[in-house]
Structure 1
């Protein structure tokens, strides 16, 4: 019967749909290599198999975010403390395996070997506190929605420019909901002229738009500057209205996410620092409150 080694090193090459895990012994000889589906049942099965190979297992991986979340959570739930391998030293270590007849080895083997040979160059991966994890998730989601909002605004402006450039120049649609409400109902010079300034002001005010009179005045002025109807105007106007409504919905959701972020931050012991990072990210993305 093969003697059970006192310690092994399990290197994990993290992937989106699956991971590769290689287990090496104290001499660096591969004992076990397997593709692991990124699902809890498969991860648990492999976890049990690896733990059966030795008295102690050192887990090492090359990614600690995104697709690694379920794997890290499973390890933490079973009392394991994985280590993170990254940086220039790991890159140099990895290069040393090229040109030695080992081109068929998985990256998981290199990760396991790095953890075995250079443990002090690895970083322990603590289980993330709930609040930190929630902040990471919600900030990532908010940033993605903010980028999508910017793209949608640009699409809407390009569409509006094709039929009514004077109106497009009259408003900053990224800063206020009022002009978006206007576009949800009226997008062409003729339609705005027919409404007139007083009726358009009342229409906007009824929908809760601030400074309704100012917006109506600008819109009517723009409409009087263009008598021509552009080919394809009706379809373009319909699409502009659809995009304006979509942006308004995004604005509402972004405000909800900001409230949720502030709520989570209020529970964080380092809220001022995290808030500063958040606001810096917010400024960098050039996202501004709608309203």
Structure 2
């Protein structure tokens, strides 16, 4: 961050009101008051403080309720930064008192901007593509949560009324053929009543290769239970509705994925990210949103630490030694790196590195985290140089570790 600022403005943002504290380079308060979450109120504050010099405005949330202050600050030509919440809570412990107020939080933010500029993170400068992408990815996350909830609800109902049938349909509950069967026939009673030929007629268009086998598995499961569990009649009416809801949600996710892919195509780094094995459209979008400007991470180690993938060394005397998994970090980014590492196991180089870690005695998840950390090195270099992933020849597999 530039040290030539005359005003360090900390904004503890809220839905209806913000609290603003402005400090000069010596720490003197220039402003300490609440202000409405309106463009007029924010512009008035910025114009007032601009008389004291260049302004660095720092928020505790750059998106959602902090989006308007960020946009107004940019429109007024001021620099904007972001203080992560975990850092702010730790810095608050260094200040006198234990009160938790908006005014105190705003002061902590402003003082951190003045004295600890290295704790701040950049807010990407007006990247409209990323702003639109964040909206879509957030909506997709909501849809994914609903898909998981309804899938679990369907499996829970089937487990309650007919466990053998759940063992057949549960693992495939999001398959189009299974959803058609449940939405049109309902539960075990409706499936048995429809008969084999009708079920094959329903399933085969959606599952040409496994349709007949799936129907045979369904009837084998139906024959395995003759007793009718209480609640089966109600479940027969609920299951078709749940299946229709799940099908609609999956369709919406497909539509959002198309929109996300179209937006990614407009971003210069999208082709770089997607070229890496294991990185798809949704993962690339999440990485772009969470990493932002890769220049904010001088080395791949900084990026790994931010994602919570860098091991933490713990030493005390002679009794406590070793490295442990970190408990902090950006959870969304860590999940994206972890899932992409899992998806990359079909890549020979990634599989070779994973197998070596397993041979060293690491369990599955630990080996995947090691692979994810290794891939951060590659990804950081790709983003820094805007270079697509370079596939190594097979004869270099021995060097993968």
Q: For this structure pair, what is the TM-score category when the shorter chain's length is used for normalisation?
A: 0.7 to 0.9
2:158 to 157, 160, 167: 160
Q: Which moved more, 1:12-21 or 1:115-124?
A: 115-124
Q: Which residue of 2 aligns with 1:209?
A: 206
Give ranges in structure 2 of 5+ residues lacking alignment. 285-334, 344-401
Give ranges in structure 1 of 5+ residues lacking alignment. 1-5
2:63 to 59, 62, 65: 65
**8 A contact 1:188–1:223 mirrored in 2:** no
Q: How far off its partner does 1:82 sit?
A: 1.6
Figure out how many residues of one structure are paired with residues of the other and give that number.
Answer: 278
Determine which structure has the larger helix proportion and give its number. Answer: 2
**8 A contact 1:40–1:70 mirrored in 2:** yes
Q: How far off its partner does 1:178 sit?
A: 0.7
Q: Which residue of 1 aligns with 2:23?
A: 24
1:271-290 mapped onto 2 (5 Å cutoff)? 271-275=270-274, 276=279, 278=283, 281=336, 284=339
- Change in 2 beyond 3 A, CA 1:38/1:190: same
Q: Which residue of 2 aligns with 1:140?
A: 138
1:11 aligns with 2:14: no
Distance in 2, Cα, partners of 1:229 & 1:87: 53
Distance in 1, Cα, partners of 2:196 & 2:118: 73
1:258-269 mapped onto 2 (5 Å cutoff)? 258-269=257-268
TM-score, structure 2 as length reference: 0.60
Q: Which residue of 2 aligns with 1:3?
A: none
- Superposed CA offset, 1:200-233 (max 9, x none): 222445xx42234333333233223333222221
1:199 aligns with 2:254: no
TM-score, structure 1 as length reference: 0.80
Q: How far off its partner does 1:177 sit?
A: 1.3
- Change in 2 beyond 3 A, CA 1:111/1:213: same
- Change in 2 beyond 3 A, CA 1:281/1:177: farther
Distance in 1, Cα, partners of 2:247 & 2:126: 35
Q: Which residue of 1 aligns with 2:77?
A: 79
1:170 aligns with 2:168: yes
2:129 to 121, 128, 131: 131
Q: Equivalent residue of 1:261, what SS?
A: helix
User: Higher relative CO (CA 8 A, sep ≥ 6), structure 1 or 2?
Assistant: 1
Q: Equivalent residue of 1:162, what SS?
A: helix
- Superposed CA offset, 1:218-249 (max 9, x none): 32332233332222212122112211111111
- Change in 2 beyond 3 A, CA 1:105/1:266: closer
- Change in 2 beyond 3 A, CA 1:58/1:186: same
- Change in 2 beyond 3 A, CA 1:152/1:58: same
